[in-house]
Structure 1
Amino acid sequence: MEKYDIAIIGGGPAGIMAAIAASRTSRVILLEKNPSLGRKLLLTGGGRCNITNNKPIKQLLTFFNNKNFLKHSFYTFTNDDLFSLFDFDFIEEDDNRIFPETEKSIDVLNGLIDKLDDVVISYNFEVKKITEDFVINDCVKASKIIIATGGITYPQTGCSPDNYFLTSQPITDIRYGLAPLITKKDLSAIAGVTLNDVVISYNKNKVRGNVLFSHVGLTGPGIINLSNEISQVISYNLLDDEPVLDFEIAIDLCPGFTREQLQDRFSNEFQSRGKTHLKNYLKTFLTNSFIEYFLNESNLDGNLELSRINKKSKNRLIENLKRFTFEITGFNTDLAKVTIGGVDLKNVNPKTMESTVIHNLYFAGEALDLHGPTGGYNLKIAFSTGYLAGLSASEK
């Protein structure tokens, strides 16, 4: 039986970073289910790898529900620490998103793998059993174990619900995060159309951002981030069953105007520009390629001159501009980017990532009940918690 100081289960971003940190002082084995490391990392940022978000740490933490848990790991392993691992530069884009200058995720993965020279890597190793004395699959014995098996999204990368049951560690409800939404109505007619800088809401939860229409529903940064809020409000657990959804979301197409401001503006301009057709007038407020769909759904005649629009139609126009609704029937699960839920943080020490239930057992990355919005936030979690777990486990 092979014996190691530390066994790390999962060769994604968190597991690789844990191995880098731990191998500096300890004998480490990295157990990977796939024939290669970092499969999910290669998919991030559309293959460009949005490696992190470069906001100052204090500001960055405000984007997470569990900011107090993350604080120590973020300060222990900063973005500067991450950048120093690579021999190439990075570029910063809108909203402080960071990408490698090559814009290729494979370069990030290879840069990390280059730091694993002192790590034993066992590929095609699916962990089936861990005994109480840390014997894995009856063939590997470790003094300490770090679990970095990820969540449930992208099962082709090795993620599986079975990973949550490798230990007796308490698990919260498991849900989809950063997922497009499937609509009841077919949106093929406007597939590819983008609504820029709108406000999307579900009950009291609101997110500002862009919305992209697909053939089966809604996506884009605004929708993707709102899906996190929806998943945390709706009660379901993927370890039990797939959710059956039926709810409504609303889009404020004119967030820069109140209803009253639109009312005043329309009262003036419907007279001063009375001969203008409604479909042409709406170009001031809406994307051109969305206007026809909007008018049809609002039951309004786009060829009607502004001066001929009655009060009832004007009120309906305002209502739909401020609250254009879609019925949602599900998450587009094939495209969900992260998992909401995981190892309960109540039973993990945020200063070390060690379990408070099982001594010498550590967790990192998406296996934990941690998640953030789109834009490099989730890889930041993976790298920082992974490094802290590896560093802590390697301390004698």
Structure 2
Amino acid sequence: MDKYEIAVIGGGPAGIMAAIAASQNSSSVILLEKNPKLGRKLLMTGGGRCNITNSKPIKRLLNLYPQKNFLKHSFYTFTNENLLSYFENKGLAFVEEDNNRIFPESEKSSDILNILTYYLKDVIISYNFEVKSISDDFIINDEIKADKIIIATGGITYPRTGCDVKNYHLTSQPLTDIKYGLSPLITKKDLSNISGITLNDVVISYKKIKIQGNVLFSHEGLTGPGIIDLSNEISQSISYNLLENNNPDIDFEIFVDLCPNLTREDLQERFNGDFQIKGKTMIKNYLKLFLTNNFIDFFLNETDLDGETQLSRINKKTKNRLIDNLKRFSFEIAGFNSNLAKITIGGIDLTNVNPKTMESTLIPNLYFAGEILDLHGPTGGYNLKIAFSTGYLAGLSAGEK
């Protein structure tokens, strides 16, 4: 039986960084990866460009996470400057795009992975190694004995990358409910005829939750940054657990404010004046002032109004219906698009993990990092930030003698 000081389970960004940090103080580290290659999910992030982190100052960054108090120590231990220096020291430059998103200048996630792999030069990597069991005395699959173990196996999204619900049960560590995160939404109505259309900078609401951002129509429903971020809030507010049912019955409604810069009163006043002055204008042409052109026909069909109707022929009741739909256009949602959910919400209960070391408070010498923990953030580099910072802290802590 092979023996190591530290075994890291999972070759994603959290596991890789944990192994790198652990190897700084330990000469006996093994990284166990289920796939024939490392970083499968990492290569897919940011559309293959790798939105590696978000450049907001740490205090502002932390305020965007539900678990900011838990993340504080790891974020200050391994900052964005620390992270980017690993790559800049090897000649990789970065660019900042909208919303403080950081990408490699080469726009290749493979460049990120290649450099991370270089830093694993002192780590033994075992590929095609699926961890099926961990004994109480840290024997893995009856093959490997470790003094300390770091579990960084990720969540349940993108199963083809090696994610598996079984990973949650490798230890007796308590779990929170497991849910879909950063997920497109499947609509009850077929939207394929408007697939590809984007509504820019609208306000999407679910109950009392509101998020401003872009909405993109797809063949299966709604996506885009605004929808993706709202899905986190929706998912947390609904009672379900994917460990108990991987196809939950989910049914809810969301609303889109198509004119967020105008109040209902503003629209009412504007309609009252314009409908008199521009009475011969057809409603389909008039709505170009408020809506993107290729969305107007769909909008009119949903409001049951003929686009050829002149403004002067629209009565008060219809005018109010137009305002209602411009300010609160509804979509009935049939569920989350599980095939495209980017992250997992829920995981190892943070109550039983020390945020200053990432070590279990129930099982000494057992550490956790990344998405397997009950940690998540919005889209825009926030979740890779979690992976790298918690991974580094877990590896650093485990490597201490």
- Whether these two folds match at TM > 0.5 is yes
- Which residue type is aligned with residue 67 of structure 1? K
Deviation at 1:274, TM superposition (A): 1.6
Give the length in aligned residue pairs: 396
Cα offsets for 1:284-306 (capped at 9, x unmatched): 11010000000000011211111
Match of residue 243 from structure 2: 239
Deviations 1:118-166 (A, max 9, x none): 0000000000110111010111111110000000000000000000000
The answer for the alignment partner of 1:44 in structure 2 is 45
Question: Counterpart in 1 of 2:96?
Answer: 92
CA drift of 1:208 comes to 0.7
Query: Quick one: distance in 1 between partners of 2:220 and 2:167?
Result: 31
Q: Distance in 1 between matches of 2:219 and 2:16?
A: 37
Any residues of structure 2 matched to 1:230-379 within 5 Å, and which?
230-241=234-245, 242-379=247-384
Tell me the distance in 2 between the aligned counterparts of 1:232 and 1:247. Answer: 13
User: Which amino acid letter does the alignment assign opposite residue 224 of structure 1?
Assistant: I
C-alpha deviation, 1:38, in angstroms: 0.2
What is the aligned partner in structure 2 of residue 217 from structure 1? 221
Structure 2 counterpart of 1:391: 396
Structure 2 unmatched runs, 5+: none
1:204 and 2:208 correspond:
yes
- Structure 1 Cα separation of the partners of residues 103 and 179 of structure 2: 28
Deviations 1:25-78 (A, max 9, x none): 111100000000000000000000000001111101111000000011001001
Distance 2:192 2:235 in 1: 26
1:181-208 deviations in whole A, cap 9, x for unaligned?
Answer: 1111111110000000001111111111
> With structure 1 as the length reference, what TM-score do the two structures score?
0.99
RMSD (Å) for aligned C-alpha atoms: 0.6
The more displaced of 269-278 and 31-40 is 269-278
Match of 1:12 in 2: 12
Matched, 1:167 2:171: yes
Letter of the structure 1 residue corresponding to residue 400 of structure 2: E
The residue type equivalent to 1:129 in the other structure is S
TM-superposed CA distance for 1:109, in Å, is: 0.4
Residues in 2 aligned to 1:62 and 1:318: alpha-carbon distance in whole angstroms: 35
- The residue number in structure 2 matching 1:22 is 22
Letter in 1 for 2:366: L
Distance 1:84 1:160 in 2: 32
Give distance in 1, aligned partners of 2:312 and 2:60: 49
Helix, strand or coil for the counterpart of 1:208? Answer: strand
Shift of residue 384, structure 1, vs aligned partner = 0.3
Tell me, what secondary structure is at the counterpart of 1:91? strand
Secondary structure, counterpart of 2:167 in structure 1: helix
1:112 aligns with 116
Matched residue SS, 2:319: helix
| Structure 1, unaligned runs of 5 or more | none
The 3-state SS of whatever aligns with 2:362 is: coil
Q: 1:340-389: per-residue Cα shift (whole Å, max 9, x none)?
A: 00000000010110000111100000000000111000000000000000
Helix, strand or coil for the counterpart of 2:86? coil
1:259 deviates by 0.8
Cα deviation code 1:92-117 (max 9, x no counterpart): 00000000010000000001000000
Structure 1 stretches of at least 4 aligned residues deviating more than 3 Å after TM superposition:
none
Identity of aligned residues (%): 75
Return the letter of the residue paired with 1:295.
L
- Read off the aligned partner of 2:77 and give its amino acid letter: T
| 2:147 paired with 1:146 | no
